Amino acid sequence: MNLLVISRHDDLVERLRMAFEGAGHRILHVGDPLEALAKDAWSEAHVLLVDAGGDPMDGYRLCRLLRGETRILFRNLPIFVVVDHPPTEQDQEALREVGGDGFIPSRHTIQQLLNHLGPVITGAATRGEAERVPVLALGLHPGLALKARDLLHHFLMEVHTPPARNAAEAQRVLKAPVLLLGLTGGVSGALARLEHLRDQGCLPYTILVGQVKGEATQRKFLLAGVSDWVPVPLSAPRLLHACRRAIEWVHVRRIQGEYESAIHDLRERRSMLEIEAAALRNEVLTDPLTELLNRRAFDQNLEHAVRQWERHRRGFVLLLGDVDHFKLINDRFGHPVGDEVLRQLAVRIRSALRRSDLAFRIGGEEFAVLLTETSLKAGAEVAEKLRRRIDEDPIALATGQTLFPTMSFGVGGPGSQNPADLLAVVDKALYQAKRLGRNRVAVAEGGGRPPRTLSAGS
């Protein structure tokens, strides 16, 4: 007897080998259900053990797939689910729903495995021999139906011939994978039977039994759902081959459906991971107080901008801004008010920029802006626009008080500097704006010249 073990518990597989291989049984080991599906590994198995957990297919899902099979071997294969813990009521219910035969604890000793699986292995070869694959027959002449029944009976297939009016109801009960469709009542009658089953959502793989003349009529049957046909008089090998091919086709469709479902699950999981990664990336690169980008994001984007300038001469301008006398605001009104001031200033800065520009909070009361595809002159004008907007738009507090914060800005563009050198040059311009009285803009001219100061606020 062959035991197929679909498990990642290598120690359990080793104990199974020690327990049963000495008695002439064979242990077949596969890592996961999808690998088993790809190899059709259970074609020689008499007993199946599968891990309860699995990704993307677990043992319960595999059991449901096999129990829905039309082939007797798969429907009646003893299936045990391997668990790492004592089965709960929820586990028991899940096993009943999929038609499993029981649980095998992964820590079972050799003696426990012998006691648990020994009787199953002894009786596995004869399990379910009386069960047959149902075959639905409609529109067959009584003599033809009887001959088909006799031919297929020896190959564990049972032909059912319900009245045409009850065909859909019978198919829902039988779940037959094959329909033998005769031409009693003519072509129109056969097409009507196909249409009725298709409308009821229960049309199986259909084999037309009889002779159909003319390509136009054959095309009608193919479009209506006929997949194969067998001429009369019936040939036993040809009919058996057509029925077996139908059953294999149903099996392939089920396997394909499982793969597509697994792929869909993986795509959904990938989408969720991408969303989580984007959220995590946003959290890592965003300042939680102002919701502007943070210092880490600033360093990354500044280096990228410098590299683009070096390779493609894509111009950009760096602005550094600092809130004037911010320590006095904290000391006089408290840090919660200081935080609110920073939030309000961030809103003013962000709303004054283009969508392509980036705003950052890089320190306590320090801000930075990267203006893409911008000249130094245009960048200085943007800095002055920001300074004026902040100067002319006081902040009203919930307490009824009004604050009049101002900001000083340093402005600079790329030259031959690396990011650290550029940052030092623009920071020097900001220091110059502070030194000359604050609430003003200073522009780093380059070439060793001192920063140029624009008009200042009052």
Is pLDDT of 72 > 60?
Answer: no
Between CA 93 and CA 87 the distance in angstroms is 10
| Helices and strands in the chain: count of H runs, count of E runs | 16, 18
Q: Is the same domain home to 149 and 80?
A: no
Q: Which two tokens stand for residue 322?
A: 């600092």
pTM: predicted TM-score of the whole model, two decimal places? 0.49
Give the neighbor-by-neighbor strand order of the sheet with 2-6. 26-30, 2-6, 47-51, 79-83, 102-105
What residues make up the domain containing 67? 2-124
Question: Which tops the pLDDT comparison, 269 or 341?
Answer: 341
- Under the banding of pLDDT at 50, 70 and 90, the label for residue 380 is very high
- Cα dist. 231→207, 212, 347, 454 in Å? 10, 9, 80, 97
Q: Is the same domain home to 423 and 306?
A: yes
- Under the banding of pLDDT at 50, 70 and 90, the label for residue 447 is low
pLDDT at 126: 45
Q: Is the same domain home to 30 and 155?
A: no
CATH number at residue 412: 3.30.70.270
Q: Is the same domain home to 16 and 120?
A: yes
Q: Is the same domain home to 106 and 150?
A: no
**Is residue 263, in this structure, part of any structural domain at all?**
no
Is pLDDT of 70 > 60?
Answer: no
Is pLDDT of 421 > 80?
Answer: yes
Q: Is the same domain home to 449 and 326?
A: yes
Q: How many CA atoms lie within 13 A of 53 on its CB side?
A: 8
- Cα dist. 63→57, 77, 115, 256 in Å? 10, 10, 23, 16
**Which of 224, 255, 286 represents a domain boundary (last residue)?**
255
Between CA 456 and CA 434 the distance in angstroms is 11
**Is residue 210, in this structure, part of any structural domain at all?**
yes
Our count of domains for the chain comes to 3
Q: Which two tokens stand for residue 364?
A: 């306590």
- Under the banding of pLDDT at 50, 70 and 90, the label for residue 415 is confident
**Which of 124, 141, 156 represents a domain boundary (last residue)?**
124
The answer to whether 169 touches 237, Cβ cutoff 8 Å, is: no
Is pLDDT of 129 > 50?
Answer: no
Q: Determine phi and psi for 213, rounding to 5 degrees.
A: -100, 145
Q: Is the same domain home to 143 and 38?
A: no
Is pLDDT of 124 > 60?
Answer: no
The pLDDT tens digits for 180-196 are 999 998 999 999 999 99
Q: What is the mean pLDDT of residues 301-306?
A: 94
Q: Is the same domain home to 190 and 314?
A: no
Q: Is the same domain home to 216 and 90?
A: no
Question: Which tops the pLDDT comparison, 37 or 69?
Answer: 37
